[in-house]
Amino acid sequence: MNSFFKFDNRIIKAAKQAMSLCKEEIEKIEEIKEYNQNKMLYAFQKAQTSESHLLASTGYGYGDRGRDVLDEIYATVFDAEDALVRYNFVSGTHTLEVALFGVLRPGDKMLSVTGTPYDTIHPVIGINGEGDGNGNLKDFGVEYDEVPLTADETPDYEAIERAIDTSVKMVYIQRSRGYSTRPSLTCEEIAKIAGIAKRKAPAAIVMLDNCYGEFVEVNQPLSNGVDLMAGSLIKNPGGGIAPTGGYIAGRRNLVELCACRLTTPATGKEIGATLGHNRELFMGAYNAPIASCEALKTAVFAAALFEVLGYEVSPRYNEQRGDIIQVIKLKSPEALVAFCKGIQQGAPIDSFVVPEPWDMPGYNCKVIMAAGAFTLGSSIELSADAPLREPYACWMQGGINFPAGKTGVMLAAQSMLNEGIL
């Protein structure tokens, strides 16, 4: 490997030490991968998936069995009553927006119990006036409130208990950390929140933003009190093959409401031509458990390597994880930019491109993104991004195969060394 990429001996030594540290964790991830891959295989067989389901439909898409079977597969692997899997969800944020507008009505109250949600959902909700007048939830009379996290950035269960009452229509949980340093949530923690919600407001919908959390555990949120969840197919559940799209899964009546939002109240899930995308979506689903766990191993290695190199990381290499994201606190904007340059150099696509901070739509400060991917913006492929603001932490995710993911992380360290930062 050194003959290909010219790693400094310090990086090679640190990488060997990191691999030794995380050996046991990688073995645990292999067990998760095997379980979830076999569950996926079972889901394909249970749905009697055939070659005919991979073919295209056009026009209205009436009777598209491939579309319906794909929904059934996702429902099985996520322990859901039903699922809505479509290539025409344009992003994870769009998928969440369809879910929120699908089930919330004027006068309803939405309560985020994991602090302020991720930046791009602010205009959808109308947080701090973002998106006002453009048809967000606030414009339609949906009330919003949130429960801050504790001082150590974990859910404040006592405050959640006080905040939830029968006036709450939706209890909203964000599993991943977003651009914060708080820990991501495990299914155990999600179940604890859902249990409080069911006790205090039995009719409330427990809604989960599950982005980055799919297939990182054996347990599923929908078997732990969640009623509805959503995510992006260019993250974990698309396996690095789905070129676009998203999914919504959960209780059948709620999924149908979301389908009616995506299409029309009269048609719901019954229409929507697949236009030849079925094959990629089926292949992506089938490979998703493996791709997700390869990304998980890459994150564990990155945590171990940068801890060896003297940096604070979250989570640590041996801590339980609720998603594939690894946070590395790089201490300075220069280190942050150098890290992202190295990640870009480890990409199969556009490795020669030099990422620079820019004013990205949906964010309130400059953001740097390293993502040399086969699918634009695919964060199941090795990528790293961060807002240029304190604490100059980088959010790294992805790596659809561990050997290349490991090399990309080492190149990030090498880039910092080349800049005289390490």
pLDDT of residue 359: 86
- Among residues 53, 100, 364, 373, the alpha carbon closest in space to that of 244 is found at 373
- pLDDT band of 2, cuts 50, 70, 90: low
pLDDT of residue 151: 94
**DSSP letters of 181-231?**
-SPPPPHHHHHHHHHHHHHH-TTSEEEEE-TT-TTSSSS-GGGTT-SEEEE
Secondary structure class of 276 (helix, strand, coil): coil
Average pLDDT across the chain, whole number: 96
Domain boundaries 38-285, CATH class = alpha beta
pLDDT of residue 302: 98
User: Could you tell me what percent of the chain has a pLDDT over 90?
Assistant: 92
Per-residue model confidence as pLDDT tens digits over 321-367? 999 999 999 999 999 999 999 999 999 999 999 999 988 766 678 88
Averaged pLDDT, 5-10: 94
Q: Is residue 216 predicted with pLDDT exceeding 90?
A: yes
- Among residues 285, 282, 281, 288, the alpha carbon closest in space to that of 245 is found at 281
pLDDT of residue 387: 87
How far is it between the farthest Cα atoms of the chain? Answer: 64
pLDDT of residue 177: 87
Averaged pLDDT, 199-221: 97
Per-residue model confidence as pLDDT tens digits over 8-65? 999 999 999 999 999 999 999 999 999 999 999 999 999 999 999 999 999 999 999 9
* Range(s) within the chain of domains with CATH label 3.90.1150.60: 2-33+290-418
Per-residue model confidence as pLDDT tens digits over 79-113? 999 999 999 999 999 999 999 999 999 999 999 99
- pLDDT band of 116, cuts 50, 70, 90: very high
Per-residue model confidence as pLDDT tens digits over 184-207? 999 999 999 999 999 999 999 999
280 vs 179 pLDDT, higher one: 280
Per-residue model confidence as pLDDT tens digits over 242-271? 999 999 999 999 999 999 999 999 999 999
pLDDT of residue 389: 85
In eight-state DSSP terms, residue 243 is -
Q: How far is CA 336 from CA 260, 368, 419, in A?
A: 43, 9, 11
pTM beyond 0.75, yes or no = yes
The CATH number, out of the four listed (3.30.450.20, 1.10.3720.10, 3.40.50.970, 3.90.1150.60), of the domain defined by the range 2-33+290-418: 3.90.1150.60
Rounded-to-integer distance, Cα 172 and Cα 207, Å? 5
* Range(s) within the chain of domains with CATH label 3.40.640.10: 38-285
- pLDDT band of 181, cuts 50, 70, 90: confident
pLDDT of residue 46: 98
